Structure 1
Amino acid sequence: MSISSTDHPTAPGSDRQDAPDAPTRPGAYRRDLDGLRGVAIALVVAFHIWAGRVSGGVDVFLVLSGFFFTGMLVRRADSGSVGVLTTIRRTLRRLLPAMVVVLAAVVVATVVLLPHTRWSNIAGQTLASLFYYQNWYLALSWSDYLAADPSVSPLQHLWSMSVQGQMYLVVLLTVAAVAWVLRGVVRAGAWKLAAEYPLLRRIGQDGMLRLTLAVMFAAAAFISFRHAGEGVSTQQGWNYYDTFARAWEPLVGGLLALAAPLIRLPRPTREVFAWTGIAAIACCGWMVNGSLVFPGPAALIPVLATAALILAGAGRDTADQPVVNRLLATGPVVQLGGFAYALYLWHWPMLIFYLGEQHQRRAGWLGGLVIILISLLLAFVTHHLVEEPLRLRSRPAATPALGRVLAGVAVSTVGVLLVGSTLAWQWSMGAKAHAVGELDPAKYPGAEALTDHALVPRAPMRPTTEEAPADIPYPTRDGCISDFDTRAVTTCTYGDRDAHRTLAVVGNSHAEHWIPALQILGEQYRFRVVVYLKMGCPLTVAEEPVYKGQQNPDCRDWSSEVIDRLGVERPDYVFTTATRPSDNGGDETPQDYVDVWSALSDRGLQLIGIRDTPWLRRNGIRYRAIDCLAGGGDRLSCGIPRAEALNAENPAATPAAAFPNMHLIDPNDAVCEHDICPVAEGNILIYHDEHHLTASYSRSMAPELARELQPILDWW
């Protein structure tokens, strides 16, 4: 984002020599846009802390980054050379020091405040942020940027810095390449021949650079905009972080940098542009839910609003600018914009760590004010002690050379230690994470401690908190479950592959985590287990299925094909989940599940609906068992009261009564005690994350699952 003044037309590498009342000629200093940066960061912080919504401020920053950076590059090209390596070095020197300081602080806070089970993920995101690929890291996990609770990463907000860094590189190389080609044309004498045409003569060599870039930027922005619009309705979780979907926003800023010097608007039009623009930016967060629709067409609101403010003040003396632009150019707003970059870096980790310590989902008014004040103080200190000393052309009187050297050495040392420590974390945790394999049932009775009152000897819990993330169901391990972005139906066979009786396991990961138990039963009682699985997609017939609040049309299309295939392949039984957690506590059977039963019944299929196992939640916030245990909890204190996880009666019972072919099973007495659903039982850890069974515990449930299934299947 153009949060940092790095991307200002006078930066990097030049002093601010234009007086405040100088005309805003091409390349002149725009104090009003510094002020706009301040307004945008204020909206970002306020909406993150108090509203739990996206404000549109990030989109303002992306447009400004394209405007400032493109304008700077074109002016350098006009004066001789873009200087690719010099520009990269200067830009990184302006952006990285503050980033390194904040990342180092987050790493220290992670060690002090968070359980070691979260260190590896934070380490991965630290490296992703430092090397500007954090947006892709988050896209692969569909992280919800709307969410701000203790389970969210304190580095999640840095996705936008990665988008900005990637776009900087692309724009830099594009401008440099076009300028190099045009210089070659001039050196070859071809320009003299081309200049015989009156139009080219009027455009001139500098104009030809701008015209070529404008055509390229416009074409790329159009393609990116189309891509973003399609992504909103197909894979918004990925789309939100996708650089290709975001590219049109900084490219619009680049087009403004190329076109603004040629545009002269009448005073009434500029006033309308300015007032409309600032109003749209201020209200954007309430007008649309940006996390669900940006950077699609809805992002035109903040993008066009920013463009209107840029054009309203273009090419005019400060005194002749609209009232809004003059207000944006006032001291306090400009000063806030001056350290907006540092404030953006600090506010999100402050919010996430605060929520973690308070065990809350919202900071509240008082807590929010505390977060803002501390973030402002840290941003001010970072700006003046880290950013300013390392300015490429700092004024000697303000920043002695020795101070610059010491600041540079300190930041470099911290950076090296940061990379080394995060790599060590990842290696250490990665080496410990692995599936545990078969466990001795005498030492590790697991579910049988509940169902058969098996003796539980003293033995270390397995899988351990380090092993658990890799103790996953077989389909995920084998690539036999379609991921969030895969539309194709993937099938695999478990159990007795040569058997003639077939149990089809259908749905999402909560159907999948029964495969280790069903694998044992299939081999023992000679039946095949064929999986039809997709992440985040419990079989649906809804026209607009939703996952994490986002449309998921792949789930609809995948489900339609699976239902049709089941009707043709006709397995003996279809095994799927019949309930899910309710937002208000307990569990429920949504109408969509019942509609699926109806669709399968119409095809004459026999159904087995299994009641879902409890999800670990406190105050509506999901948490991982391994984090709670690593933080000092035990198997009971880290568990969830049974009454909060499960209704007294199976909610699927009433709707299932209308379907003679629907058979319900409820294995939760093998997961929960009378009053509590613990996170470990019979020396085996139950959950490998917030709500999925470990493969080890699933295997221990095979005897109980056999008792539940025998009266239905009658295969043994």
Structure 2
Amino acid sequence: MSSTVTVAPSRPTIRTTQIRGDLDGLRGLAIALVVVYHVWFGRVSGGVDVFLVLSGFFLGGRLLRQAAGDQPDESWPRAVARIARRLLPALVVVLAASAVLTVLVQPQTRWEEFADQALASQFYWQNWYLADSANDYTRAGEGVSPLQHIWSMSVQGQFFVGVLTLAAVIALVTRLVGAARHRRAVLVGVLSVLTVLSFWYALVTHQLDQSHAYYDTFARAWELLAGMLAAAVLPVLRCPRWLRVVAAVVGLGAILACGVLLDGAAEFPGPWALVPVGATILLILSGTREPPAPNRLLATAPLVTLGTMAYSLYLWHWPLLIFWLAHTDRDGVGVSEGVAIIALSLVLAYLTTRLVENPLRVGSKDRAAHRLPTGPRYGAVALGGVVALLAVALVVSSLAWRGHVEGIRANGVELQTLSSRDYPGARALLENSRVPRLPMRPSVLEATDDLPATTIDGCITDFASVEVIRCVYGDASAARTIALAGGSHSEHWITALDIVGRSHGFRVVTYLKMGCPLSTDDDPRIAGSEDPYPLCKVWVRDAMDALTVDRPDYVFTTTTRPHPNGPGDRVPDSYLGIWDELSIQQIPILGLRDTPWMFRDGVLFAPVDCLADGGDPETCGLPRSEMLAERNPTLEHADRYPLLSVLDLSDAVCRPDVCRAVEGNVLVYHDAHHLSATYVRTLVDELARQLAEATGWW
């Protein structure tokens, strides 16, 4: 008789992973740096890059253990659900609180932008939303968003889903071809290739358009991938203790010094991002087997505790800071205010971690594996239901407000045919016209879309391009030509020039680039932000070459800028170099004094926001003496340039003592320094009069 031996089915060996208290503490140090630098210094600390590397390390460790058979495989839906439980609840709570604060603190002009960003944040698209708007000069006057920091959460969410999908595909393919035992090696190989490609992409896009690359998932992926590769290297790494001590000291020192020595907002994700990324990897690799002193320091209780709250603290601190600045109408906080903001952020982060994150973090099937109580979890179910309702409410309210605003703007076509009797605009100043009591147009919700035709038609080069775009307005069949050249402050006059051109028989050809006046400046800067703008220099050279070839009858451009130290305005020396070049080419210039910029205490502000917040045309304006010199500075150079005709419409924008937000029932500015298209239409007669004197064409 034969005996039967029953063999129990084999199960994957589950290895207990080493608990790295030093990495929890590193997360705590990173969030501390992020918060302190944001609150008091307005700089990028490098802490977010530390988070990205650590996120990649922990995800990579899990996937590599699964690939090696050291941990049971997890289905793609379950893995995504686990990440969603980890990330979404706290995010939804902070978004809901921010929505309430937006309604209470911010003017209605900010609500639409918040609604758009809330939707983008909730669906993990915020980084791409910010990347697209980074080069949108029509938003240059907007305040900083309370949700801007969620870009990094969106990058991580997209990366997690992408890598989980990649790992699932590799697992399937290796099983199908009978190479399951090589699955880990294949995964590491693919991750290595992707790391190199992402880093190369980051270098290229950083040079082409750094402001867009900063938020680009593909340009940031190498930082998370580097963390995943560190997880692959760690088990096989053998280093002498002295080398691990050096690595830990260098890594910790680099992280502490990063925010002081590097301007991350301008330098990342380019090669300088290697500093926080490399430093984090050094600390990861140095902390195994008898961790050196820097790692033991990171593993101390205060930093570890802070690390457990890092996610919620990151979510809370930024909106609290931005809403406080909006409430106080300032651009910075003092020591006591900053301490209060940080303290409140810590309290809210603790409560969110304890009451929202932890109860919902682990699914019912995983609770036994995590040694958590099993059985009915009615409290967690109820909490999950509340979070889901908040998420739905956010989506519905955001879409409803956007629909409301779009409905109002649908009537914006009326702005082009407003009655000159009811809405005299500039004529109220120039002709002392009677102004009836009527609602201002464009309204505060219409102002954002009251833009020049060149913006709508795509006839202005954006920040990231150097193409010279020529578009024709006015009388396209006319023989006489005025070239409208320069930045957006030249551009907003197209509304009036188009009308005058059609009435008096001349073409208007555009040579425009966002934020780029005609200048010979070797180091141009973006107005308002003072960020380097090297592509402006390239475009100006190309535009000047085009003007030399095209030889228009006149070049219409601005001649002044706000004085950098205030008050008043001036002619930058770099403008004179352009006038010299045009004079050599015998091309006459129609030099227009620039529109007054709305600087209050050295900071740009949008009168439309002030009006939406309950202000009036007077209080939402500024004294003329702060914005304009008593005499047009261009006149000081008129004798040197006989081909320069000086135009000045300041008296059609400002009163003798004040530049108000509204004149003749028409909103003057649609943002902080660009005239509304509706107001420019009321300047047609005065511009035509000055052009007639300058050109003699009619």
Once residues 150 and 380 of structure 1 are traced to their aligned partners in structure 2, the CA distance between those partners, rounded to angstroms, is 32
Distance change in 2, residues 1:653/1:243 (3 Å): farther
Counterpart of 1:63 in structure 2 is 53
Q: Which residues in structure 2 correspond to 1:589-628 (within 5 Å)?
A: 589-628=571-610
Once residues 49 and 654 of structure 1 are traced to their aligned partners in structure 2, the CA distance between those partners, rounded to angstroms, is 44
Counterpart of 2:359 in structure 1 is 389
> 1:213: Cα distance to partner?
2.7
Counterpart of 2:279 in structure 1 is 305
- From 312, 315, 339, the equivalent of 1:345 is 315
Moved more, 78-87 or 449-458: 78-87
Counterpart of 2:613 in structure 1 is 631
- From 382, 385, 407, the equivalent of 1:406 is 382
Identical positions, percent: 49
Contact 2:126 2:150 in 1 (8 A): yes
Q: Which residues in structure 2 correspond to 1:448-527 (within 5 Å)?
A: 448-527=427-506
Contact 1:309 1:325 in 2 (8 A): yes
> 1:696: Cα distance to partner?
1.0
Aligned partner of residue 576 in structure 1, secondary structure: strand
Say whether 1:584 aligns with 2:558: no
Distance change in 2, residues 1:365/1:183 (3 Å): same
Counterpart of 1:647 in structure 2 is 629
Aligned partner of residue 416 in structure 2, secondary structure: coil
Aligned partner of residue 133 in structure 2, secondary structure: coil
Distance change in 2, residues 1:211/1:443 (3 Å): same
Once residues 73 and 618 of structure 1 are traced to their aligned partners in structure 2, the CA distance between those partners, rounded to angstroms, is 54
> 1:657: Cα distance to partner?
4.0
Moved more, 651-660 or 359-368: 651-660
Say whether 1:217 aligns with 2:191: yes
Once residues 229 and 583 of structure 1 are traced to their aligned partners in structure 2, the CA distance between those partners, rounded to angstroms, is 33
Contact 1:386 1:407 in 2 (8 A): yes
Q: Which residues in structure 2 correspond to 1:156-305 (within 5 Å)?
A: 156-186=148-178, 191=179, 206=181, 208-305=182-279
Question: 1:279-311: per-residue Cα shift (whole Å, max 9, x none)?
Answer: 110110011111111110111110110010000
> 1:96: Cα distance to partner?
0.2
Give unpaired runs (5+ residues) of structure 1.
Answer: 1-17, 19-24, 192-204
> 1:368: Cα distance to partner?
0.3
> 1:398: Cα distance to partner?
11
Aligned partner of residue 557 in structure 2, secondary structure: strand
> 1:82: Cα distance to partner?
4.1
Question: 1:448-480: per-residue Cα shift (whole Å, max 9, x none)?
Answer: 111111111222211111222111111112221
Once residues 523 and 450 of structure 1 are traced to their aligned partners in structure 2, the CA distance between those partners, rounded to angstroms, is 25
Residue 140 of structure 1 aligns with an amino acid whose one-letter code is: D
Counterpart of 1:39 in structure 2 is 29
Name the TM-score, length of structure 2 as normaliser.
0.92
Once residues 310 and 142 of structure 2 are traced to their aligned partners in structure 1, the CA distance between those partners, rounded to angstroms, is 24
Say whether 1:664 aligns with 2:656: no
Say whether 1:709 aligns with 2:685: no
Residue 434 of structure 2 aligns with an amino acid whose one-letter code is: L
Contact 2:141 2:605 in 1 (8 A): no
Residue 681 of structure 1 aligns with an amino acid whose one-letter code is: E
Once residues 645 and 161 of structure 1 are traced to their aligned partners in structure 2, the CA distance between those partners, rounded to angstroms, is 41
Contact 2:124 2:158 in 1 (8 A): yes
Residue 52 of structure 1 aligns with an amino acid whose one-letter code is: G
Question: 1:178-232: per-residue Cα shift (whole Å, max 9, x none)?
Answer: 122111122xxxx4xxxxxxxxxxxxx55x3333233322322222222222333
Contact 1:360 1:619 in 2 (8 A): no
Question: 1:74-110: per-residue Cα shift (whole Å, max 9, x none)?
Answer: 2233345342111111101110000000000000011
Say whether 1:329 aligns with 2:299: yes
Once residues 51 and 209 of structure 1 are traced to their aligned partners in structure 2, the CA distance between those partners, rounded to angstroms, is 47
Question: 1:403-451: per-residue Cα shift (whole Å, max 9, x none)?
Answer: 2112111111111111111111111112212342221111111101111
Residue 448 of structure 1 aligns with an amino acid whose one-letter code is: R
> 1:396: Cα distance to partner?
4.8
Say whether 1:375 aligns with 2:352: no
> 1:678: Cα distance to partner?
0.6
> 1:171: Cα distance to partner?
1.3
Say whether 1:28 aligns with 2:7: no
Task: Name the Cα RMSD after superposition.
Answer: 2.1
Aligned partner of residue 596 in structure 2, secondary structure: coil
Aligned partner of residue 484 in structure 2, secondary structure: strand
Runs of 4+ deviating beyond 6 Å? 147-150
Counterpart of 2:402 in structure 1 is 426
> 1:127: Cα distance to partner?
0.5
Moved more, 51-60 or 432-441: 432-441
Question: 1:546-576: per-residue Cα shift (whole Å, max 9, x none)?
Answer: 3233333332332222111111111000001
Once residues 451 and 628 of structure 1 are traced to their aligned partners in structure 2, the CA distance between those partners, rounded to angstroms, is 25
> 1:691: Cα distance to partner?
1.4
Aligned partner of residue 37 in structure 1, secondary structure: helix
Aligned partner of residue 307 in structure 1, secondary structure: helix
Contact 2:141 2:604 in 1 (8 A): no
Residue 516 of structure 1 aligns with an amino acid whose one-letter code is: T
Residue 631 of structure 2 aligns with an amino acid whose one-letter code is: E
Contact 2:516 2:536 in 1 (8 A): yes
Counterpart of 1:680 in structure 2 is 662
> 1:143: Cα distance to partner?
7.7
Distance change in 2, residues 1:54/1:607 (3 Å): same
Once residues 141 and 690 of structure 2 are traced to their aligned partners in structure 1, the CA distance between those partners, rounded to angstroms, is 38
Aligned partner of residue 529 in structure 1, secondary structure: strand
Once residues 93 and 432 of structure 1 are traced to their aligned partners in structure 2, the CA distance between those partners, rounded to angstroms, is 39
Distance change in 2, residues 1:400/1:30 (3 Å): farther
